[in-house]
Structure 1
Amino acid sequence: MRWPLRYQILIPMVGILVCAIVVVTFLQAWLATNQIKLQIRDQFRQIAHTLNEATFPLTGAVLNQTKGLSGADFVLVRQDNKVLSSTRPDYLPTAIKQEPPDWNQLQISDVIETGDAHYFHTVVKIQQRVRTDELRYLHIYYPVKAYREALSNAIYPSLLAGSIALIVVAVLATVIAGRVTRPLQRLDRKVAQIAHGDFHPMVLPSRNDEIHDLSISINQMAELLGDFEDEVKRSERLKTLGQLRGAIAHQLRNAVTGCRIALDLYLRKCANSDQDETLQVANRQLCMIEQYLQSFLDNKAGHFCSFAPVCLNEIVERLMSLLEPTARHGGIQLINDSVEEPLTVEGDAESLEQLMSNLVLNAIEATLSVKTEPDSQSLSEAEVRLRLFPSGQESVTLEVTDTGPGPEPAIINKMFEPLVTAKKDGTGLGLFVAREIVENHNGRLHWERRGGQTCFIVELPVYQVENASVEITNR
């Protein structure tokens, strides 16, 4: 059986304190008992001494007065056990078998039963030298009931104080144990939640002690475990992506190659087909798809061994001619607001074209998702805008803006991860590949909402002609 932590703390604490209080209480009771016995003994020693030194005869009246002061009965006898005076005429003391002690050695210990009551009984020698040298004996009878009443009056206050102390200790121990165990139980529940995959931080207690420090440590552990879980999931997705990439890309490349061959044969047979812009766009699209698939097969995945100067304006122009039919088919305006001056970066042309293509296609799909809704926007409001411009002396910026609703809240924090998508027919690879390409070009990719529109922003370093000249000279 497992005891709750509260009881594991409370029981030993209360047990130790109870034992201490019980020991102290019984010690006080024992001391009070001895003190009462000593007081009664000293009282009767003093009475025996007073009667022994008295200059008046010890008559019945004197003994009755002494009884009123002490509460005991007295019987004075001669050596032959003849009663001289007594506070109780019905008492007939037994014959003395051995020499009684003097008054200063008096002890009260023997208990006898006389009539219907019990008494402590003792005998002491009395010798009044003033009137006679005759030796007499004084029998003293002290009621056991009076002794017990005196003892109770001495012990009960100690027992009452001990009982009150026990109650106070139990209450305080319960409060202290609760104050200690409640935060520990919260920490235990939080650790259990972390074990089940809930890595949200817990609310820190207001107290400034070790519990507060432990709560901070648990929150830090939860954050680290959450990051580690995200990294493990990302690694698993990348591993899965790597396993699927080769097989899928190989099959798709064969199909695309077949389409290109069929399209080339058709262009050769039909003399006027070279003037058909639609067929030319389709041919370029197939070429681009084949290049992407070849990159996958070569395990390129956005990592490059060498870069070359690439004019981004030319890539934008090619994409406009390739993707404009797709946008027009969906009733979307594809607008190019790029500057006319050439903007050159150092990188891989195929990958940069794939980067821009992914962002523009995502923008078109996001805008189409709004147009298919019952309360959709008008044709003139649905647009995707490309804007390429210099953002400084050492960087160039590409903005792709659409009138779509933006990413869903559930994937905002992980939409650049592989295989993460909110689209029913999406693969979750477009933004992941785009980010990989941007990072391998020492750039930065982020997004924001601008007045009801979604804007993806790519920042890339500008190709420096001076640095290129220095490198050629050094070679």
Structure 2
Amino acid sequence: MRQPLRRQLFLPFGILVVGATVAVAVVTAAVSARTRQADAIQRLERVVETLRASQFPFTPAVLAQMHGLSDAQFVVREPDGSVRATTLDPVPTELGSGRFSANEVVDRLTLAPSVQVGDVAYYAAELPLTTGIERGTLLVLLPVRALRRLGWSAAWPPLAAGAIASLAVLLMARSIAGRFTRRLDAIGGQVMQIAAGSADRLVLEGPDDELRKLATAVNTVSDQLRQQERTVRQTERMRLVAQLSSGLAHQLRNAASGARLAVQLVQRRHPDVAVRELDVALTQLKLIEDHIKRLLAVGPERGTTLRPGSIEDLFRSVEDLVTPMARHSGVALEFDAHGADSRWVPDLEGVRAGLLNVVMNGMEAAGRGGTVSVEAAAVEGGALEIRVSDSGPGPNPDIAERIFEPFVTSKPEGVGLGLAYVRRTIEQLGGKVSWRREGERTRFTLVVPETEPVASGTTKGVSASCR
């Protein structure tokens, strides 16, 4: 049987507190009632003492005044038992001689067990009168109902206070229990969402306590699981890319090599025809071959020889490749190295392939009449920063946070591998890729480590999988 935490934690606490409150209230009420009754009896004793010590006769008027001071009834009897004066009206016949036993005639007022006089029950005491003026006995009758009323009037305030305090404790315990259980239910719901694989971050209301710490730990677990899920998904996609690229690379590379040989043959036979255009075509075909080779690196790690190059060579080759497309698309291009022309990147071909991909994406986003600017600068830490900004609207908000993941694209004809390839290539060189919106422009930033210049035609004996 399920035992709610509210019942386990707060029910015993509530019972203990309420029990203690009720016990204190009952004891206080009992003490107050006894004290009030004792005060009434002491006041009555003082009245009786005054009567016994008085030197004036006990007339009905005197007895009436004493009745007003003490709420008791008084009866003066002659030695023969006849009633001479009383506050009772009418005078009851059962108060004749012999009504009270000898042990009830005491020197000091003592309440005897209750007696019934008419319809009223009284506590009774009979005291002898021995003054020079009066002889006989004084019968004092204190109504049982009056004495109980005095006790109740003293007892009900602490009882009421105890009841109110108990109710307040119960309501407070219920409120505290509800607040705790609601927060625990929220954490439990978050855990169930994590188990279902669709958990958002939990914002737990309430004070900064252990439950808030627990919610923070749950959020941390959720973030880690989400990151691991993205990593697994990306790994699976990379594996799929590797499988697809392995099957297509051989055929595509052969086709590109054949086309490049055909263009070279045309150049040899007609060396003065469309020299620049044929050079661009050869460069593009060579670039296709490089892309096919590097596509395999998106999957498993494979070593690739690094060929460093300068920013000047990088910008010039990219500009030559994209200028014809820019003219055809009506996009204005601007390249500015900001004095970093002589700086060297660790792999000219890899950085050129990544930069070319980003520039072409920017041209497509900017559209006719748009602008694309490419800048380079040296930054702290021995790195080079290459910035590509365009006047386009930026990535679709639905995929903005995942644009570097494989197969993520908003283009109907797109595959979603371009930016994944860019990130993979730059990260293999020990760099990083990022993007952000700056006003009305979108900026992609490629950061790569700077390398020392090397002699022309030499390469570095480092694999692309090294960092």
Which stretch shifts more, 394-403 or 272-281?
A: 272-281
Superposition deviation, residue 142 in structure 1: 1.1
Confirm whether residue 111 of structure 1 aligns to residue 107 of structure 2.
no
Aligned to 1:239: 235
Question: Taking structure 2 as the reference length, what is the TM-score of the superposition?
Answer: 0.70
In structure 1, what is the Cα distance between the partners aligned to 2:287 and 2:175? 70
Aligned to 2:404: 416
Superposition deviation, residue 437 in structure 1: 2.8
Aligned to 2:423: 435
Aligned to 2:66: 69
Superposition deviation, residue 404 in structure 1: 1.9
1:315 to 1:304, Cα distance in 2 relative to 1, 3 A:
farther
In structure 1, what is the Cα distance between the partners aligned to 2:22 and 2:381? 87
Which stretch shifts more, 212-221 or 24-33?
A: 212-221
Confirm whether residue 347 of structure 1 aligns to residue 346 of structure 2.
yes
Question: Do the aligned residues in 1 keep the contact of 2:256 with 2:289 (CA within 8 Å)?
Answer: no
Question: Do the aligned residues in 1 keep the contact of 2:257 with 2:289 (CA within 8 Å)?
Answer: no
What one-letter code is carried by the residue in structure 1 that aligns with 2:77?
L
What one-letter code is carried by the residue in structure 2 that aligns with 1:26?
V
Over the matched positions of the two proteins, sequence identity in percent amounts to: 20
In structure 1, what is the Cα distance between the partners aligned to 2:171 and 2:288? 73
Superposition deviation, residue 103 in structure 1: 1.7
1:120 to 1:168, Cα distance in 2 relative to 1, 3 A:
closer
In structure 1, what is the Cα distance between the partners aligned to 2:334 and 2:37? 114
Question: Taking structure 1 as the reference length, what is the TM-score of the superposition?
Answer: 0.69
1:163 to 160, 170, 179: 160
In structure 1, what is the Cα distance between the partners aligned to 2:230 and 2:33? 81
Question: Do the aligned residues in 1 keep the contact of 2:399 with 2:409 (CA within 8 Å)?
Answer: yes
In structure 1, what is the Cα distance between the partners aligned to 2:32 and 2:373? 100
Unaligned runs of 5+ in 2: 455-459, 462-467
What one-letter code is carried by the residue in structure 2 that aligns with 1:355?
G
Question: Do the aligned residues in 1 keep the contact of 2:389 with 2:444 (CA within 8 Å)?
Answer: yes
What one-letter code is carried by the residue in structure 2 that aligns with 1:351?
G
1:97 to 1:110, Cα distance in 2 relative to 1, 3 A:
closer
1:219 to 1:405, Cα distance in 2 relative to 1, 3 A:
farther
In structure 1, what is the Cα distance between the partners aligned to 2:230 and 2:23? 66
Superposition deviation, residue 175 in structure 1: 6.8
Which stretch shifts more, 388-397 or 404-413?
A: 388-397
1:343 to 1:142, Cα distance in 2 relative to 1, 3 A:
same
Q: Alignment partner of 1:401: what SS? A: strand
Question: Do the aligned residues in 1 keep the contact of 2:346 with 2:449 (CA within 8 Å)?
Answer: no
1:152 to 149, 152, 164: 149
Which stretch shifts more, 24-33 or 189-198?
A: 189-198
1:286 to 1:406, Cα distance in 2 relative to 1, 3 A:
same
Superposition deviation, residue 249 in structure 1: 0.1
Aligned to 2:445: 457
Confirm whether residue 27 of structure 1 aligns to residue 23 of structure 2.
no
Question: Do the aligned residues in 2 keep the contact of 1:53 with 1:128 (CA within 8 Å)?
Answer: no
Question: Do the aligned residues in 2 keep the contact of 1:303 with 1:437 (CA within 8 Å)?
Answer: no
Q: Alignment partner of 1:100: what SS? A: helix
In structure 2, what is the Cα distance between the partners aligned to 1:66 and 1:226? 89
In structure 2, what is the Cα distance between the partners aligned to 1:398 and 1:53? 119
Which stretch shifts more, 44-53 or 281-290?
A: 44-53
In structure 1, what is the Cα distance between the partners aligned to 2:371 and 2:40? 113
Question: Do the aligned residues in 2 keep the contact of 1:49 with 1:104 (CA within 8 Å)?
Answer: no
What aligned pairs does 1:69-88 form with structure 2 within 5 A after superposition?
A: 69-70=66-67, 71-74=72-75, 76=77, 78=79, 83=82, 85=84, 87=86, 88=91
In structure 1, what is the Cα distance between the partners aligned to 2:308 and 2:17? 84
Q: Alignment RMSD, CA only?
A: 5.0
Superposition deviation, residue 2 in structure 1: 7.9
Q: Alignment partner of 1:140: what SS? A: strand
Question: Do the aligned residues in 1 keep the contact of 2:26 with 2:158 (CA within 8 Å)?
Answer: no
What aligned pairs does 1:179-328 form with structure 2 within 5 A after superposition?
A: 185=182, 189=186, 192=189, 196=193, 199=200, 202=203, 211-213=207-209, 217=213, 220-221=216-217, 224-225=220-221, 227-260=223-256, 263=259, 284-297=283-296, 307-328=306-327
Encode CA deviations 1:87-137: one digit per residue, 9 max, x unaligned.
Answer: 33734536469643552465323333333433334445x4849799xxx97
Encode CA deviations 1:157-189: one digit per residue, 9 max, x unaligned.
Answer: 441354256446745875797589658846854
Question: Do the aligned residues in 1 keep the contact of 2:33 with 2:154 (CA within 8 Å)?
Answer: no
Superposition deviation, residue 435 in structure 1: 2.9
Aligned residues: 440
Question: Do the aligned residues in 1 keep the contact of 2:204 with 2:212 (CA within 8 Å)?
Answer: no
Aligned to 1:360: 359
What aligned pairs does 1:348-427 form with structure 2 within 5 A after superposition?
A: 348-368=347-367, 371=368, 381-388=369-376, 395-427=383-415
1:313 to 1:191, Cα distance in 2 relative to 1, 3 A:
farther
Question: Do the aligned residues in 2 keep the contact of 1:347 with 1:441 (CA within 8 Å)?
Answer: yes
In structure 2, what is the Cα distance between the partners aligned to 1:246 and 1:260? 20
In structure 2, what is the Cα distance between the partners aligned to 1:32 and 1:215? 46
Question: Do the aligned residues in 1 keep the contact of 2:29 with 2:159 (CA within 8 Å)?
Answer: no
What one-letter code is carried by the residue in structure 2 that aligns with 1:352?
V
What one-letter code is carried by the residue in structure 1 that aligns with 2:112?
S
Question: Do the aligned residues in 1 keep the contact of 2:183 with 2:211 (CA within 8 Å)?
Answer: no
In structure 2, what is the Cα distance between the partners aligned to 1:32 and 1:384? 93
Which stretch shifts more, 385-394 or 281-290?
A: 385-394
Question: Do the aligned residues in 2 keep the contact of 1:14 with 1:170 (CA within 8 Å)?
Answer: no
Encode CA deviations 1:330-368: one digit per residue, 9 max, x unaligned.
Answer: 343555555899635352343223212221221222123
What one-letter code is carried by the residue in structure 1 that aligns with 2:392?
G
Encode CA deviations 1:236-264: one digit per residue, 9 max, x unaligned.
Answer: 23212232022210232143145336636
In structure 2, what is the Cα distance between the partners aligned to 1:92 and 1:298? 123
Unaligned runs of 5+ in 1: 206-210, 372-380
Encode CA deviations 1:374-393: one digit per residue, 9 max, x unaligned.
Answer: xxxxxxx3343444566799
In structure 1, what is the Cα distance between the partners aligned to 2:405 and 2:364? 19
Aligned to 1:90: 93
1:303 to 1:148, Cα distance in 2 relative to 1, 3 A:
farther
What one-letter code is carried by the residue in structure 2 that aligns with 1:108?
L
Aligned to 2:457: none
